[in-house]
Structure 1
Amino acid sequence: MSIEKPPVDLCKGINGLEKIVLREARGCSAEVYLYGGHVTSWKNDHGEELLFVSNKAIFKPPKAIRGGIPICFPQFSNFGPLEQHGFARNKFWSIDTDPPPFPTNSTSKAFVDLILKPSDEDSKIWPHSYEFRLRVALGPGGDLMLTSRIRNTNTDGKPFSFTFAYHTYFSVSDISEVRVEGLETLDYLDNLKERERFTEQGDAITFESEVDKIYLSTPTKIAILDHEKKRTFVLRKDGLPDAVVWNPWDRKAKAMADFGDDEYKHMLCVEAAAIEKPITLKPGEEWKGRLELSAVPSSYCSGQLDPAKVLNG
């Protein structure tokens, strides 16, 4: 008789770093490292990995883990004075043993609450007091849910502002066979052209070269269609008006020490974010940003486009 594994299990991961494994009864799972509050794995009930983590990822502080879902806080990219993507993704988080009440509609027992508070070192580079609470939950159907709650706990009466992203790396069969729907006709800032503003022209976004765009005022739902795997990822987001789409392509991939030369073919970042308009909190105020990911089977023709047009376009 097999022993049923607990829905939440704290154990050692790569290089002895602590991680939490979440399991749902049907066999789905997720893994979260305390280092970075970083989700590094999300598997469906067939045991297939849905997130991309580089084979060259360095699980060693202070380097952030390459792949999974890094958390960019309190700064996205180099939109400010801090290091690239802020510091939340390379700090050690704690398990939150006494989280405040959490309105939830999920019956899942597979969740963990983490908390990050500023260290003296952080306060030197970002002189604000805050509490960042993160809940990672695995739904009964295998959906992965991340909820961030950030509170200003400054006692000096000062507000603070931040930008934010769930920098999600999805695992895809072949980047040239993937398209993203839900961002058509929207304005975006192109990071490859000094953040110049453009309007998306395509019916759906497809990939044939490096892309690094911040889409503005995006819908709450975005889909990533992977033709070869006949799988669609659906992102649902709340409190996160922007969406980043990123693939480094071959030249940038070769330049990154913690990323394989050809791995760009098998990953795509689509990130729920708040970038264009930074979030400002007065003391005592709290912001909440939620991301829900699901993976559903899709037939080749299920999208809005004619497949011949996609292939020949």
Structure 2
Amino acid sequence: MNHSGVACDKKTASFEVVKDRNGIDQVVLQNSRGASARVSLHGGQVLSWKTDHGEELLFISSKAIFKPPTPVRGGIPICFPQFGKRGSLEQHGFARNKIWVMDDHPPPLQPSDSSGKSFIDLLLKPSEDDLRIWPHGFEFRLRVSLSANGHLTLISRVRNINCKPFSFSMAYHTYFSISDISEVRIEGLETLDYLDNLCEKKRFTEQGDALTFESEVDRVYLGSSDTVAIFDHERKRTFLIQKEGLPDVVVWNPWEKKSKSMTDFGDEEYRQMLCVDGAAIEKPITLKPGEEWTGRLELSYVPSS
């Protein structure tokens, strides 16, 4: 099965389409070493990313709802055309609730984005309902690829096919699976300004040399470097988040009280997850007619002592 130029050489990488329990297509990508990723056409959402030892790197809530139009709690939801809640659009926009299609005419990308990789190209266009609440013609192309060394890359391309400009914000709302929230730290956010969503989006400056957790955190760090790291001491593992075209970083953990108020999230699950998102939020992206924006996120993990 060779949708959208997918690498199908069995010695290097494989690609399989399966259906979930609601009959929605999911694409399973596998590299030559046995690492895998699973992408649902519901939301264009990565639901699983496993090492070559079969260890899951992403968090999915045990109470997640897999029935559209409810977004799935966990994995990597795509927040577009907004992050957060503003105006008549639903929280985090509509892209994560829609059924995407496989893109039969993906744009050519760099050879490095396809060589030796298992990948899938997906496409979202607005429905008539979408255009009523957000009246802008767009094409959102997403390539999800799994490299030979197990790195997971998401490349988004948003094109304005309208006759007038529009602006949007977006985030890859990545739920990482961790050993214990009190045992992890984030580096790469030192000295940055951030908007604190728990303090009416007031602006503060990060004072610590690493971010650690002992209560609820909901922040947008502004203008970060292109690499952020999550150190998980107990699992002896470091996640590296590398990004292009995504200047901001969202950091979120709901902690105990908020967890209990969320119907699709277990009361104690906040201990095993941490959201760190590559995002473009503070300064929305504006596209003139015919213009295209590209945002790229690469996730990798390395053993640490």
Q: What range describes the TM-score normalised by the shorter chain of this pair?
A: over 0.9
Matches within 5 A, 1:23-62: 23-62=30-69
From the superposition, tell whether residues 272 and 6 of structure 1 become closer, same or farther in structure 2 (CA, over 3 Å): closer
Matches within 5 A, 1:84-163: 84-106=91-113, 107-154=115-162, 157-163=163-169
In 1, Cα distance between equivalents of 2:23 and 2:179: 30
**Match for residue 267 of structure 1 among 269, 273, 277:** 273
Residue 226 in structure 1 maps to residue 232 in structure 2: yes
Q: How many residues align?
A: 295
Does the CA contact (< 8 Å) of 2:244 and 2:297 recur in 1?
A: yes
1:257 paired residue number: 263
Q: State the secondary structure of the residue aligned to 2:22.
A: helix
From the superposition, tell whether residues 293 and 5 of structure 1 become closer, same or farther in structure 2 (CA, over 3 Å): closer
Deviations 1:66-124 (A, max 9, x none): 00000000010114441100000000000001112112414134100000001001000
Does the CA contact (< 8 Å) of 1:144 and 1:292 recur in 2?
A: yes
Does the CA contact (< 8 Å) of 2:12 and 2:117 recur in 1?
A: no
Q: State the secondary structure of the residue aligned to 2:112.
A: coil
Residue 179 in structure 1 maps to residue 185 in structure 2: yes
Q: Cα distance, 1:152 vs. partner?
A: 0.1
**Match for residue 210 of structure 1 among 208, 216, 221:** 216
In 2, Cα distance between equivalents of 1:292 and 1:104: 16
Q: Look up the equivalent residue of 1:224 and give its one-letter code.
A: I
Does the CA contact (< 8 Å) of 1:237 and 1:291 recur in 2?
A: yes
Does the CA contact (< 8 Å) of 2:12 and 2:116 recur in 1?
A: no
From the superposition, tell whether residues 235 and 255 of structure 1 become closer, same or farther in structure 2 (CA, over 3 Å): same
Q: Look up the equivalent residue of 1:113 and give its one-letter code.
A: D
- What TM-score, normalized by structure 1, do the two folds share? 0.92
In 2, Cα distance between equivalents of 1:225 and 1:127: 42
Could you tell me which runs of 5 or more consecutive residues in structure 1 were left unpaired when the two chains were aligned: 300-313
Does the CA contact (< 8 Å) of 2:173 and 2:275 recur in 1?
A: yes
Does the CA contact (< 8 Å) of 1:179 and 1:225 recur in 2?
A: yes
Q: Look up the equivalent residue of 1:185 and give its one-letter code.
A: T
Does the CA contact (< 8 Å) of 1:108 and 1:137 recur in 2?
A: no
Does the CA contact (< 8 Å) of 1:72 and 1:89 recur in 2?
A: yes
In 1, Cα distance between equivalents of 2:111 and 2:206: 35
In 2, Cα distance between equivalents of 1:4 and 1:284: 40
From the superposition, tell whether residues 185 and 80 of structure 1 become closer, same or farther in structure 2 (CA, over 3 Å): farther
Could you tell me which runs of 5 or more consecutive residues in structure 2 were left unpaired when the two chains were aligned: 1-9
Deviations 1:8-41 (A, max 9, x none): 1111124332100000010100000000000000
In 1, Cα distance between equivalents of 2:290 and 2:12: 40
Q: Look up the equivalent residue of 1:226 and give its one-letter code.
A: D
Same amino acid, percent of matched pairs: 66
Q: Look up the equivalent residue of 1:54 and give its one-letter code.
A: S
Deviations 1:205-232 (A, max 9, x none): 0000000000000000000000000000
Q: Look up the equivalent residue of 2:46 and give its one-letter code.
A: V
